[in-house]
Structure 1
């Protein structure tokens, strides 16, 4: 794999999937830029991976440019929020839009920060972590669903703008995992909120039915995006279940 020596920036690297991505990239030889709000947790990840820690709050645009200054060969836009849970007309408008600000604007601004340098080097990759919530309807988490749909469409447009310029952009759905957002909801205790309970019950049913993705599978597929194997598929929505090599062969 051609990851060794690349500077890989991971947002939301302090826990969950972000931390797992950082650790796997470090194992493959990448130099890490660990980004997030919890500096103590990030330092713990850095102790295990050797990465550099920088503060980044996707809800605060002023932090994004400085956090991503310098050389970034691969950006993994992993940080994000679930947003409010409940019927769209009942959740607070402010909370609904806050999720859009973090998940969409944060992704766009992170791309703004790294793409000029990538274009100057005629080399680079951006991997936007998304969800099938952006492809299907996810009632009671509409802001999350709409934000991921927006990121998928943003990815498609940016990839076209970057065509033949040496920079690849992907949307990547890692599947339902026992860690991260799904893991957090899965392990919640019964709540007085019926909508949160609905999500928890659904996730438990999905796991029982064998529809969760092993973390190792998600990470190994993601590495094929990190190392350039998937570059011919720039702009695509890819998942942990995809056979990347077969898709590349089909594309050629």
Structure 2
């Protein structure tokens, strides 16, 4: 395919390469409907290549949207799918959920940042008096009973990052010009400005979510896939193979 032809098809031939057919999916945030549409789109596309693909989910499966429980059920089922392999990265919203289970005092802040929708998806109501610490203890205990062990284990075992050939997949980003071994959850799950404002943060092309944008970012060294699905009803992914990229969206 010519360079012009590749651009017209939404692809960017680059030096960075990835041998295996790989898809990365941006922040889902409880939008089970969009996740199901995206998986169908990916499955149909992968079938054309007759190759078993790798799908990397970039975190933030829960909160804000209406079906956090259903999303976790769906990705658990995907672990046993015969047509693909999957990697599930942790997002900052999964980290906060797990923190709430260990520390009920985190409940008020979590509920203000989307956690109320997650609780509702498990049939749990917010405390009537949200400033009451004892009420949050009771809510935490109720949530802990409603949360399947499989969901808790899934989130606890999620990876912080995955590297495949010339690409690094992570929820939020990486700290520029800092060895990856010297970084941790605070960076991988939360970083924004220091990462987003540099042209090249590390030797890999970084594929990430976390920071919502009206349109996906697709530059030489960074691919940002969070298009605010819970609010915009647009879920974004990228298809990577050899030295080409293709942006996928469903709505």
TM-score by length of 1: 0.31
The answer to which structure, 1 or 2, has the higher relative contact order (CA under 8 A, 6+ apart) is: 2
Higher strand share: 2
